[in-house]
Amino acid sequence: EAQVTQNPRYLITVTGKKLTVTCSQNMNHEYMSWYRQDPGLGLRQIYYSMNVEVTDKGDVPEGYKVSRKEKRNFPLILESPSPNQTSLYFCASSFGGDGYTEAFFGQGTRLTVV
Amino acid sequence: KNQVEQSPQSLIILEGKNCTLQCNYTVSPFSNLRWYKQDTGRGPVSLTIMTFSENTKSNGRYTATLDADTKQSSLHITASQLSDSASYICVVSGGNNDMRFGAGTRLTVKP
C-alpha cells in the first residue's frame, strides 16, 4: 500500500530536549516536505527536499532541521524545542513540488512542548 | 495576508443537503489549484486538481469550479453524507515549490 508513515503520532516533551520525528514513504517520490498546522493558519511549509541531499527552507524553518540521506526518509529534527513549536506536524511526498502531482500526507504528529 | 482565503471558516448542514465552499486567491502566476479533504486526526487527501484551462471538474458528489479571471474557486458538495464532515483545504500552486494553503473550511454534517 502506497503510504507516508510518520512516527510518533503523539509526543509530549520538555523545553530544550532534542527530538526527531521520522517520515518514510514507499512511493519512490523525489519531493518531500514538512508542514506545521496551527488553528486558523492552515498548513505552513517548514522545509522541503527535491531529492537526496537536496534540502531547502520553507516559510517557517526557524528552530527546525532536516536531512535527506535516503530517498524514502525525511526526518524532522528539533534541536531545542520550545513551547511555540507545539503544533500538528505533517510530512508529505510527491513526484514534484509544483502541485501537478498529488501530495500524499502522513497521519500527522501532534507535538506538545511544555 | 494569506494569498489563499477560504470561506466560510465553518459550516453546519443537515445530511442530504448541498453546500458550497469558497476559495479566493491572489497567487500569481497561477499554475493549478487542488482541493483536499482532511478528516479529523488525519492527513489531507486530494479531491480534485484544476489547471488554468479548466473551469469545472467532478469527483463523485464533489464538483469544483475555477474562474481564473476572478481568481476564485468553489467546491460544491451534493447530497451531503455524515462522512463528508471534515476540513476542506484549497491549495494554489504558482509553480515549482510554491504551494499556498488556505486555512480550510470546517464542515459538519448533522443527521
Contacts of B52 in chain A (CB under 8 A): none
pLDDT of residue B1: 60
Which amino acid is located at A2 in the chain?
Answer: A
What's the mean per-residue pLDDT of chain B?
93
Beta carbons of B49 and A45 less than 8 Å apart: no
A103 touches chain B (CB under 8 A): yes
* Average pLDDT value for residue range A79-84: 97
What is the pairing mode between strands B19-25 and A109-113? unpaired
pLDDT of residue B24: 97
User: Higher confidence at residue A48 or residue A96?
Assistant: A48
* Average pLDDT value for residue range B60-85: 96
* Average pLDDT value for residue range B13-41: 95
Backbone dihedral angles phi then psi of residue B44, each to the nearest 5 degrees = -65, 150
pLDDT > 80? residue B97: no
Contacts of A107 in chain B (CB under 8 A): 41-43
Beta carbons of B101 and A44 less than 8 Å apart: yes
Beta carbons of A99 and B101 less than 8 Å apart: no
pLDDT > 90? residue A98: no
pLDDT > 80? residue A37: yes
Q: What is the CA radius of gyration of chain B?
A: 13
> Can you tell me which residue has the cell 526527531?
A20
Residue count of chain B, please give it. 111
Q: Give the three-state DSSP class for A67.
A: coil
* Average pLDDT value for residue range A77-106: 93
* Average pLDDT value for residue range B69-77: 96
Within 43-102 of A, beta carbons closer than 8 Å to B belong to 43-45, 48, 50, 56, 90, 92, 96-100, 102
